[in-house]
């Protein structure tokens, strides 16, 4: 664990709502986070609403506080100079299996206190505590690609921004089996979590959503802390009449050309619902373009379009970063689509998971054991590379080519690729 400096005290406390004794401390913490991300100062109402959703997620706040006298006139000592938030949610690890995961969010360090090891200290302590608490996986989404590899995180899923031309060119090779109709946005307060729960069970890489998502999708609470009257909603009804998908969207205004609808949230629990929601979006009159920032890379829409070039997707990026905290339970939790055996030598910059492990899969079920240093490894890899291949969305053969995995036995990386494959493309619709 990192050296603790006397200049700062680290405090951990749960999210509190207005009226509770911990509220002033939680309020200052939230304000420090928005300062760290260069947002406008949040109004007290906005902070109160944020804290209600954070409480529903049972978030834990970590703050670093100055212990020495602060400069006169500067932020007082009660305002944290560094923030670090966590909550626990499930991660779909393929074939419908769920793994409890420590989600890390709201990481900020005030400019005047940066590069003194505050992030390293908060991260090392938090990951060690989560592991001691029996949590085998941590996850985050990163503001910069250069920060988190050193702590053992690896990119495990991707997303892309798509701009879809919905002029006369747009045509889907798909015969509708259900129907789509517009609805009052507030219906999503109830419907969105139900539809998302189905998607979460079906999609490897999916992280269960925070409370805020249903509020965002229904226009109840926008990013600015206010209701968003621009949000519109359409529901997809399957052949049985039940709602199995929705899209929440906003018109970008007549001055944006071509006239564009922006997707706020699109969640579909069946293949048909996904395509039919796109058919609906493309059919909106006076609109020639749809934009969506959270589209999958491996997207059925591409293959259902008569002209796949209707999609412009120049912006692909990393999405979910995973960090295995405990190798044996993490690997044993997965289902494997093929049988096989692999000996993995795992390196860990924080020392949480280092060791050599034998993974033996029979009938899809894994037995994992720590073996001695004399065991002959098939692969040597950093925990960040193991975390990257865990969801099947990053290819071990490619990581070997990149020098991130060392293959001691020819064909071992390809074997790992087969073992870690999942039943459908990994995609995470949850930012946190």
Ligand X SMILES: CC(=O)SCCNC(=O)CCNC(=O)[C@H](O)C(C)(C)COP(=O)(O)OP(=O)(O)OC[C@H]1O[C@@H](n2cnc3c(N)ncnc32)[C@H](O)[C@@H]1OP(=O)(O)O
The residues binding ligand X (CB under 6 A) are: 36, 104-109, 114-120, 140, 142-144, 146-147, 150
Residue 107 CB, shortest distance to ligand X, in Å, is: 3
Residue 386 CB, shortest distance to ligand X, in Å, is: 20
Residue 86 CB, shortest distance to ligand X, in Å, is: 10
C-alpha to C-alpha distance for 355 and 373, rounded to whole angstroms: 8
In the complex with ligand X, which residue's Cβ is closer, 217 or 350? 350
Q: Do 231 and 250 form a contact (C-beta atoms < 8 A)?
A: yes
Q: Do 49 and 225 form a contact (C-beta atoms < 8 A)?
A: yes
Q: Do 304 and 164 form a contact (C-beta atoms < 8 A)?
A: no
In the complex with ligand X, which residue's Cβ is closer, 128 or 397? 128
In the complex with ligand X, which residue's Cβ is closer, 106 or 419? 106
Q: What are phi and psi of 238, to 5 degrees?
A: -75, 180
> Rounded to whole angstroms, what are the CA distances from 95 to 1, 196, 309?
35, 17, 32
In the complex with ligand X, which residue's Cβ is closer, 99 or 109? 109
C-alpha to C-alpha distance for 43 and 48, rounded to whole angstroms: 9
In the complex with ligand X, which residue's Cβ is closer, 106 or 324? 106
Residue 18 CB, shortest distance to ligand X, in Å, is: 25
In the complex with ligand X, which residue's Cβ is closer, 119 or 359? 119
Cβ within 8 Å of residue 135, ≥6 positions away: 88, 100, 101, 102, 325, 326
C-alpha to C-alpha distance for 15 and 211, rounded to whole angstroms: 13
In the complex with ligand X, which residue's Cβ is closer, 84 or 249? 84
Residue 151 CB, shortest distance to ligand X, in Å, is: 8
Residue 147 CB, shortest distance to ligand X, in Å, is: 5
C-alpha to C-alpha distance for 152 and 139, rounded to whole angstroms: 11
Instruction: Tell me the pairing of strands 60-66 and 98-109.
Output: unpaired
For the CA atoms of 124, 125, 130, 134, the dihedral, rounded to the nearest 10 degrees, stands at 90
Residue 214 host element (H or E): helix 212-217
Residue 173 CB, shortest distance to ligand X, in Å, is: 40
């Amino acid at each position: 664990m990192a050296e603790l400096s006397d200049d700062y005290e680290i405090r951990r406390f749960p999210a509190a709502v207005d009226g509770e004794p911990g509220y002033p401390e939680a309020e200052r913490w939230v304000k420090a986070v928005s300062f760290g991300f260069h947002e406008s100062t949040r109004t007290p109402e906005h902070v109160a609403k944020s804290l209600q959703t954070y409480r529903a997620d049972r978030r834990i706040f970590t703050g670093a506080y100055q212990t020495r006298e602060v400069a006169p006139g500067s932020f007082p000592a009660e305002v944290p100079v560094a923030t670090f938030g966590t909550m626990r949610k499930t991660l779909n690890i393929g074939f419908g299996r769920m793994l409890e995961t420590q989600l890390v969010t709201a990481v900020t360090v005030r400019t005047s206190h940066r590069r003194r090891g505050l992030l390293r200290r908060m991260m090392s302590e938090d990951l060690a505590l989560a592991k001691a608490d029996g949590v085998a996986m941590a996850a985050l989404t990163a503001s910069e690609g250069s920060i988190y590899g050193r702590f053992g995180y690896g990119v495990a899923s991707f997303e892309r921004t798509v701009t879809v031309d919905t002029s006369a060119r747009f045509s889907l090779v798909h015969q509708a089996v259900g129907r789509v109709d517009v609805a009052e946005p507030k219906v999503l307060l109830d419907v969105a979590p139900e539809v998302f729960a189905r998607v979460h069970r079906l999609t490897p890489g999916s992280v269960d959503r925070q409370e805020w998502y249903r509020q965002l999708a229904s226009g109840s609470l926008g990013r600015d802390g206010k209701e968003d009257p621009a949000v519109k909603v359409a529901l997809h009804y399957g052949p049985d009449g039940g709602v199995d998908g929705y899209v929440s969207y906003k018109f970008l205004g007549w001055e944006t050309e071509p006239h564009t609808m922006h997707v706020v949230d699109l969640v579909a629990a069946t293949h048909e619902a996904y395509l039919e929601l796109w058919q609906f979006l493309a059919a909106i009159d006076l609109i020639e373009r749809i934009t969506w920032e959270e589209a999958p890379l491996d997207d059925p829409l591409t293959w259902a379009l008569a002209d796949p070039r209707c999609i412009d997707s120049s912006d692909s990026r990393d999405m979910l970063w995973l960090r295995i905290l405990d190798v044996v339970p993490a690997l044993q939790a997965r289902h494997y689509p093929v049988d096989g055996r692999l000996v993995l030598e795992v390196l860990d910059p924080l020392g949480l998971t280092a060791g050599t492990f034998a993974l033996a899969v029979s009938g899809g079920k894994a037995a994992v054991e720590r073996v001695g240093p004399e065991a002959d490894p098939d692969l040597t890899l950093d925990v960040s590379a193991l975390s990257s291949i865990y969801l099947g969305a990053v290819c071990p053969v490619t990581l070997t080519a990149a020098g991130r995995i060392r293959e001691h036995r020819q064909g071992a990386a390809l074997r790992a690729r087969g073992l870690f494959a999942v039943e459908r493309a990994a995609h995470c619709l949850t930012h946190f």
